[in-house]
Structure 1
Amino acid sequence: MSGTSSHLPILSFTETASSISEIHQVHAHLLKTGVFYSNTFSCNKLISFAVSNPDPITLSYARSIFTHITTPNSFSYNSLLRAYANSLTPQNAIFLFCQMLQGPVFPDKYTFTFALKACAGFGGVEEGRQIHAQALKLGFGFDVFVTNTLINVYGKSGYFEVARNLLDRMTNRDVVSWNALLSAYIEKGFIRSARGLFDEMEQRNIESWNFMISGYLSSGLLKEAKSIFDTMPVKDVVSWNSMITGYAHASFFGDVLKLFEDMQREKVKPDSFTLVNVLSACAHLGALGQGEWIHGYIDKNGIGTNGFIATALVDMYSKCGNIDKALNVFRNASKDISTWNSIIVGLGMHGFGEKALDTFLEMLVEGFEPNEVTFISVLSACSRSGLLNEGRKMFQLMVDDYGIEPTIEHYGCMVDLLGRVGLLEEALELVETRPLQEAHVLWESLLSACKNHGNVEMAEYVAKKLLELNPQDSAGYVQLSNTYAALKRWDDVSNVRRKMKALKISKEPGCSMIEVNGVVHEFLAGEGLILEQI
């Protein structure tokens, strides 16, 4: 006892330590006493800190301490087991568990819970079965924590009948028991089974409701998700974020803003995830006023313009037409590669192609390595500003220096650039290097360029290719009709329109949105009234 207490002053330092290097200092001090590895309590304290946020370095360090402990106890094993179960290498927990079975320290109920959680992490249902057998053998098979984790293992592995049998046989099941099976149904996409279980549940918590919302959204059932959301007795930030994300993914950006307003009225504090999604909605709608309000909220609450928040603000201001504010946010932000990409896109969008290129070079000087999105941003900026030579250089730089395989988006930027400067033959050659089925957007871009340059012969050829891809797509017909109209070939225009009518192909009406006094209004072409206030 005296050996333990003599180390308490230095061990109390681990409670406030903020880095592994500080723990190393404690470790070094304890080694000087000469009794560190024989003092299990001291070793366990260091292991606990090292594995509080497990990563390969801290796990390796914790394991090295563990292997040198003279007399490890169940806490020593369980601390390391839990860390492995929560890490990117949960399989290591099983090796440690097998070592523990050899004694002299044997598993307790926490050991089985952590080992089974590891099995769920890597889909080890066979290992889970063996551990289940060991739990029954040692008298822990019906413990509520162990059984809950078993339900999770079997459910996530698709053994729903076994998982359900375990749930039904439990005499002291709790809401975690029900949620273990519910989450497994959701994860595997069995939304009807999940809803049946949800309706049957003896008790629910907020996590149960959130699971159902997530499941419906993952299945594309937005209406059903909203119904669950509306009937929830209590909503947390996860509930709101799920619905906001669902509407954003479905491109219902007006509904995103409505939800955010409701969230404010309910006095639920948004997190950075909420704000990024709402700023994205403002960007799509051109809702500058609401975007500025959110920016003010961020500053007022000390959230900070870093990472995703900074990127979302730059994107919002750029798309809402205020490139100066976008640049101001960018200059004062803690940047990552996404932030650089966003400002390059914004500058290109506003016609500042050369400034976008300068920013790209500045990014390289700052030590950031461009990714494929960066090159889409740069090539798009070159295209919008007609910087042909610079665009060609960037494309070659991407392939030769950074080894990035061009995607359809990169080819799209190059086709658009070549089309803008009138190099239609070169653009056609580039388009024809791509497989026909993946090049639909490239053919559309080239057809638009043909119209702009009055090249009817190529326009007819490209339109034919588009119609081969999708005979019911109006884009090819409309672009070809517009090309004929620009050259006043009205008979050809009429022929195209007659063909569209015969094939029952209609053009989608154009849509516009404007913000007036903080309210976004949506209009359809040909309508004289406001269709919706968002």
Structure 2
Amino acid sequence: MSASSPQPFMVSFTEMATTLHEVHQAHAHMIKTGLIRNTFAASRLIAFADTNSTDPTTLTYAHSVFTRVSKPNSYVWNTIIRAYTNSSSPVLALLVFHQMLHGPVFPDKFTFPFVLKACSYLHWIKKGQQIHTHIVKVGLGSDVFIQNTLIHLYASAGFIECAHNLLNRMFERNVISWNAILSALADQGLMEQALSLFEEMPEKNVESWNFMISGYVSLGLIQEARSLFDVMPLRDVVSWNAMLTGYAHVSCFDEVLAVFEDMQNAKVKPNSYTLVNVLSACANVGAMNQGEWIYSFINKNDIKIDGFLATALVDMYAKCGNIDKALEVFNNTLKKDISTWNSMIAGLSIHGYGEDALRVFSEMLAEGYSANEITFVSVLSACSRAGLLDEGYSVFYLMVHVHGIKPCIEHYCCVVDLLGRAGLLEEAEEFITAMELKDAPAVWVSLLNACRIHENVKMAEHVAMWLFKLNPQDSSGYVQLSNIYVSIGRWNDAREVRKMMKAQKVTKEPGWSMIEVDGIVHEFLAGDGLHSQAD
């Protein structure tokens, strides 16, 4: 077989390759057999970069192959431009495009959509306008795919009128053309304009509805999103996920579970994004039965547990009280990320397993993961809950002086709590006064709580007065001081504190809780007698 005739097996092997190593093997064979001189065969090596454009090494390799193709055709040029467009460096797509302009192969109708997308990603509207002018000069201004990309470029840059004018001049406008403007309006939060356009559209597909729903969700307008969702003629998994995300973001976790139940009844198969949202809701309301069902679903459908999904499972089991199951999921997860480690450490902390939390933290560092601010909040909290004073000091030092992380209010609160639980109230106050954030009420609330634990009324009064000065409308100082007085029988003083609250018009948010009974989540407010099963 001649080198000009690509060998089907080798080309097929290249297309099926999943790693750069496999592509290198195919490349070596092509060089050995002379197949590399075939433009189409060489283009398959470059095409691998298009599906792996997030990997800089793959892109570098693809470009090296591209530069060695003696006579690249338009397909080869377009393949490398598309790979760069979808990479983290879309500016390189424009550089290759400018090389192409010098011939002998010139840009065609397939080139320009990729280049215009690169301009959109870079927010280079002027460059996009220049390319638009070139498109008109070469007679491609009426191509529907190029027009749709131009509409999206102008709309995403805020040039809505330009985009609309292009739409109105199109001879073959389709739903994609309308969606190009609709998606840009929704992304920019211009929902009144988006709704007006949506109602004007002669044809809508499920994507059109999803743009609107996601736009409302991103602004926290959940009721508006739900109103559209309820009248959609057809829903896909993206539609359901948008509603799940919306309810999760406003902490309506019971609604997340209700929507998920409706999704199951509609026979729509959830994806990993769905499951993460629902597991988060289960964690927040303590619905372990439903969380268990999701875990069974994941295993039954051979869904890979890693990253966000592993984190959500660990978090759900830990918050629902089954720390052993959380550890089982964690230990069985081969591909962990920093969030997975953080969730496991936080779960152990919540359950009072301070030494185990420190052990997991040490394993994380030993495996080469970089701890972040969230990691140290969980580790410091674990030390505080377990009374590990020396270890807590060491962790705080490690965070500041080794990892170079500037403490935030949560870290300071953990250290104050650590000292307070150990009965070192004076040291805790000295620590606060030396802080950059000493005027943050949260650290003083932590110290006040320590005063309550150790029944140090004198310091409690001092700390409470400081809190009243910092934030007169914060109820926590009043309530804790009142409770301290009640605990030692100083009823008159407790009443005076309550009077101060009333005079300052300070209100305390009622406590609430949720419980799962027979798969149904019930919500209660403190002192609420309205629940159907309340005595």
Aligned to 1:313: 313
Aligned to 1:181: 181
Aligned to 1:418: 419
User: Once the two structures are superposed, what CA deviation does each residue of 1:222-274 show, in whole Å capped at 9, x if it has no partner?
Assistant: 11011111111111111111111111111111111111111110111111111
Please give the alpha-carbon distance, in whole angstroms, between the structure 1 residues aligned to 2:532 and 2:140: 63
Matches within 5 A, 1:162-181: 162-181=162-181
Aligned to 1:439: 440
For the Cα contact (< 8 Å) 1:422–1:449, is it kept in 2?
yes
Name whichever of 138-147 and 27-36 sits farther off. 27-36
User: Once the two structures are superposed, what CA deviation does each residue of 1:113-133 show, in whole Å capped at 9, x if it has no partner?
Assistant: 111011011101011000000
Aligned to 2:476: 475
**Residue 76 of structure 1 aligns to which amino acid in structure 2?**
V
Query: Is the partner of 1:109 in helix, strand or coil?
Result: coil
Name whichever of 28-37 and 68-77 sits farther off. 28-37
For the Cα contact (< 8 Å) 1:522–1:532, is it kept in 2?
no
Number of residue pairs aligned between Structure 1 and Structure 2: 532
Please give the alpha-carbon distance, in whole angstroms, between the structure 1 residues aligned to 2:163 and 2:350: 54
Q: 1:531 to 1:492 in 2, by over 3 A?
A: farther
Aligned to 2:42: 43
Query: Is the partner of 2:459 in helix, strand or coil?
Result: helix
**Residue 465 of structure 1 aligns to which amino acid in structure 2?**
W
Aligned to 1:123: 123
Q: Identify unmatched segments of 5+ residues in structure 1.
A: none
Please give the alpha-carbon distance, in whole angstroms, between the structure 1 residues aligned to 2:6 and 2:528: 83
Matches within 5 A, 1:195-214: 195-214=195-214
For the Cα contact (< 8 Å) 2:213–2:229, is it kept in 1?
yes
Matches within 5 A, 1:498-513: 498-513=499-514
For the Cα contact (< 8 Å) 1:383–1:417, is it kept in 2?
yes
For the Cα contact (< 8 Å) 2:413–2:446, is it kept in 1?
yes
Name whichever of 126-135 and 66-75 sits farther off. 66-75
Please give the alpha-carbon distance, in whole angstroms, between the structure 1 residues aligned to 2:12 and 2:301: 34
User: Once the two structures are superposed, what CA deviation does each residue of 1:507-532 show, in whole Å capped at 9, x if it has no partner?
Assistant: 12221222211111111111234269
Query: Is the partner of 1:4 in helix, strand or coil?
Result: coil
Please give the alpha-carbon distance, in whole angstroms, between the structure 2 residues aligned to 1:457 and 1:238: 58
For the Cα contact (< 8 Å) 2:439–2:470, is it kept in 1?
no
**Residue 109 of structure 2 aligns to which amino acid in structure 1?**
K
Aligned to 1:516: 517
User: Once the two structures are superposed, what CA deviation does each residue of 1:400-447 show, in whole Å capped at 9, x if it has no partner?
Assistant: 222222222211211111111121222222333445587232222222
Answer yes or no: is 1:456 the counterpart of 2:457. yes
Aligned to 1:380: 381
Matches within 5 A, 1:306-345: 306-334=306-334, 335-345=336-346
Aligned to 1:220: 220
Deviation at 1:2, TM superposition (A): 5.0
Aligned to 2:113: 113
Name whichever of 205-214 and 459-468 sits farther off. 459-468
For the Cα contact (< 8 Å) 1:150–1:163, is it kept in 2?
yes
For the Cα contact (< 8 Å) 1:51–1:62, is it kept in 2?
no
Aligned to 1:73: 73
Please give the alpha-carbon distance, in whole angstroms, between the structure 1 residues aligned to 2:10 and 2:436: 67
Q: 1:197 to 1:23 in 2, by over 3 A?
A: same
Aligned to 2:104: 104
> TM-score, with normalisation over the residues of structure 2?
0.95
Q: 1:178 to 1:467 in 2, by over 3 A?
A: farther
Query: Is the partner of 2:514 in helix, strand or coil?
Result: strand
Aligned to 2:255: 255
Please give the alpha-carbon distance, in whole angstroms, between the structure 2 residues aligned to 1:524 and 1:11: 65
For the Cα contact (< 8 Å) 1:283–1:315, is it kept in 2?
yes
Aligned to 1:19: 19
Name whichever of 361-370 and 196-205 sits farther off. 361-370
Please give the alpha-carbon distance, in whole angstroms, between the structure 1 residues aligned to 2:46 and 2:199: 43
Q: Identify unmatched segments of 5+ residues in structure 2.
A: none
User: Once the two structures are superposed, what CA deviation does each residue of 1:336-370 show, in whole Å capped at 9, x if it has no partner?
Assistant: 33222222222221111122222222333344333
Deviation at 1:452, TM superposition (A): 2.1
**Residue 240 of structure 2 aligns to which amino acid in structure 1?**
W
Aligned to 2:402: 401
Query: Is the partner of 2:10 in helix, strand or coil?
Result: helix
User: Once the two structures are superposed, what CA deviation does each residue of 1:57-88 show, in whole Å capped at 9, x if it has no partner?
Assistant: 12111211222222111111111111111111
Please give the alpha-carbon distance, in whole angstroms, between the structure 2 residues aligned to 1:9 and 1:526: 73
Please give the alpha-carbon distance, in whole angstroms, between the structure 1 residues aligned to 2:6 and 2:89: 36
Query: Is the partner of 2:376 in helix, strand or coil?
Result: helix
**Residue 514 of structure 1 aligns to which amino acid in structure 2?**
I
For the Cα contact (< 8 Å) 2:132–2:150, is it kept in 1?
yes
**Residue 244 of structure 1 aligns to which amino acid in structure 2?**
L
Aligned to 1:280: 280
For the Cα contact (< 8 Å) 1:287–1:515, is it kept in 2?
yes
Q: 1:436 to 1:380 in 2, by over 3 A?
A: closer
Query: Is the partner of 1:515 in helix, strand or coil?
Result: strand
For the Cα contact (< 8 Å) 1:189–1:215, is it kept in 2?
yes
Please give the alpha-carbon distance, in whole angstroms, between the structure 1 residues aligned to 2:297 and 2:439: 43
Aligned to 1:356: 357
For the Cα contact (< 8 Å) 1:330–1:343, is it kept in 2?
yes
Query: Is the partner of 1:5 in helix, strand or coil?
Result: coil
Please give the alpha-carbon distance, in whole angstroms, between the structure 2 residues aligned to 1:96 and 1:451: 68
**Residue 233 of structure 1 aligns to which amino acid in structure 2?**
P
Query: Is the partner of 1:520 in helix, strand or coil?
Result: strand
For the Cα contact (< 8 Å) 1:4–1:41, is it kept in 2?
no
Answer yes or no: is 1:265 the counterpart of 2:294. no
**Residue 17 of structure 1 aligns to which amino acid in structure 2?**
A
Query: Is the partner of 2:51 in helix, strand or coil?
Result: coil
**Residue 50 of structure 1 aligns to which amino acid in structure 2?**
A
Query: Is the partner of 2:522 in helix, strand or coil?
Result: strand
**Residue 40 of structure 1 aligns to which amino acid in structure 2?**
T
**Residue 49 of structure 2 aligns to which amino acid in structure 1?**
A
Query: Is the partner of 2:110 in helix, strand or coil?
Result: helix
Q: 1:169 to 1:465 in 2, by over 3 A?
A: farther
For the Cα contact (< 8 Å) 1:523–1:532, is it kept in 2?
no
For the Cα contact (< 8 Å) 2:241–2:273, is it kept in 1?
yes
Name whichever of 284-293 and 470-479 sits farther off. 470-479
Please give the alpha-carbon distance, in whole angstroms, between the structure 2 residues aligned to 1:234 and 1:6: 45
**Residue 200 of structure 2 aligns to which amino acid in structure 1?**
E
For the Cα contact (< 8 Å) 1:408–1:438, is it kept in 2?
no
Q: 1:387 to 1:403 in 2, by over 3 A?
A: same
